[in-house]
Amino acid sequence: MSAPAHGIFRSLRSFNYRVWVGGAFVSNVGTWVQRTAQDWLVLTQLTHHSASAVGFVMALQFGPQLLLLPWTGFVADHFNQRKVLIATQAAMGVLALALGLLTISGHVQLWHVYVFALLLGSAAAFDAPVRQTFVAELVGETGLSNAVALNSTSFNAARMIGPAVAGLVIAGVGTGWAFLINGASFIAVLISLALLRVSELHPNPRAVRTKGSFTEGFRYVWSRPDLKAILVMLFLIGTFGLNFPIFISTMAVGVFHADAKGYGLLSSIMAIGTVSGALLAAGRATPRFRSLLVGAIVFGVGCTLAAFAPSYWMFAAALVVIGVAALTFTNSTNSLMQLSTVPAMRGRVMALRVGVALGGTPIGAPIVGWVADNLGPRWALGIGAASGFAAAIVAVYALTRNVQSHAPLRTTA
């Protein structure tokens, strides 16, 4: 019997999913605390408001997603996913604690942040495709689309809390304590992984270990026009549009002259939009290719509104629009690619997705940071707007060629 296909929160009927999402939520709050504190540390304490330095940190943190693709996809498809997650989550927790102690001691330098960003990015590169495909083990095929959307809801609900907490912590006791909070938060997700009922998991078929398994993933995607179109759109928006640390920090500090609390509040306000977008996705029975077109257009419009925003609160309102659009777009790419991919190939396909979505950051973030430094933050947002409209053009082309019909979505196990 397939699971009921109605209800926004239907995946929470599963014990394993409830345990997982609870631990993940606590860890996600910590992640947003650290991301906000890290950007603030680089922008205001280790440099003189250098957006380029923030962009370089982003490049180091997300570059491994692309560079380590041959290994991350292999691990996701061939190894026990629960055990891999325990290892990656523990590693990221230790790194966060180490950076926190270094910062509290007063010895932190910019190059230290660069090194830790690279190490955290390397651990996250192995974690991300496993974490995304592990959802199918928790709820099965029929609940996958809903669970993916609820994962994003959890992540972005944490985004409403984390940056605001970071602003208060930075103002109250200092940046280093924000990193320690993140390190401690990983205990929650490790406990949740330990409490899972292994007998109730729905194991994904493991791929057979053969030479060329990574290139097999590339060939699979290359033979699928729908997947290629999604990845091109994801590259455009991921590389030049999803640079929110640069957009928000430079607008907050350079244009509206906000303090740490004001900066953290902007990130939390944006999360109102991302949570709304995630809940809308959770309410849909199955994702549609047209959602990508809508998400890309609205993303471009939102970035345009943000670029011309005359005041702090108008800019905050535009961030809500951007948040809804970004989550509509990214959730749709996630669900469409997972549901239309054979399970034994899913880890490698999702590793490619993560690599394309985040691996373009080493290209886009330094460019956007340079534009923000030399032409102003509003021009940097203009690049984000252009990425959304360019992705929309790709979606229109794909729809006119009817590429989505090459691999109908599977909505039953």
Distance CA 220, CA 227 (A): 9
| Same-domain status, 192 and 60 | yes
Domain end position, chosen among 170, 201, 232: 201
Domain membership of residue 207 (yes or no) is no
| Same-domain status, 226 and 193 | no
Start-to-end Cα distance in the chain: 9
| Same-domain status, 397 and 346 | yes
| Same-domain status, 351 and 287 | yes
| Same-domain status, 341 and 227 | yes
Q: Tell me, what's the pLDDT at 336?
A: 85
How many folded domains does the chain comprise?
2
CATH number, position 245? 1.20.1250.20
| Same-domain status, 245 and 116 | no
| Same-domain status, 141 and 238 | no
Domain membership of residue 187 (yes or no) is yes
Q: Which residues of 156-172 are buried (b: 16+ CB within 10 A; e: fewer)?
A: bbbbbbbbbbbbebbee
pLDDT tens per residue across span 307-320: 999 999 999 999 99
Domain membership of residue 412 (yes or no) is no
Domain end position, chosen among 201, 233, 258: 201
**How many CB atoms lie under 10 A from the CB of residue 401?**
13
Q: Tell me, what's the pLDDT at 361?
A: 76
| Same-domain status, 254 and 316 | yes
pLDDT tens per residue across span 41-60: 998 889 988 888 988 998 89
CB contact at 8 A, 99 and 111: no
| Same-domain status, 257 and 144 | no
What domain range is 101 assigned to?
Answer: 11-201
Domain end position, chosen among 179, 201, 223: 201
| Same-domain status, 138 and 227 | no
Domain membership of residue 314 (yes or no) is yes
Q: Tell me, what's the pLDDT at 207?
A: 54
pTM of the model: 0.74
Q: Tell me, what's the pLDDT at 408?
A: 39
| Same-domain status, 252 and 342 | yes
pLDDT tens per residue across span 197-243: 988 888 766 555 555 566 777 788 888 888 899 999 999 999 999 88
pLDDT tens for the chain, residues 1 to 413: 344 445 678 888 889 999 999 999 999 999 989 998 998 999 888 998 888 898 899 889 888 888 887 788 888 878 888 999 999 999 999 999 999 999 999 999 999 999 999 999 999 989 988 888 888 888 877 777 788 778 878 887 887 788 888 989 998 999 999 999 999 999 999 999 999 998 888 876 655 555 556 677 778 888 888 889 999 999 999 999 988 888 998 999 889 998 888 888 898 888 888 888 777 776 666 677 888 999 999 999 999 999 999 999 999 999 999 999 998 898 888 888 887 887 778 878 887 887 787 777 778 888 998 999 999 999 999 999 999 999 999 999 988 887 654 443 333 32
Q: Tell me, what's the pLDDT at 126?
A: 92
| Same-domain status, 228 and 133 | no
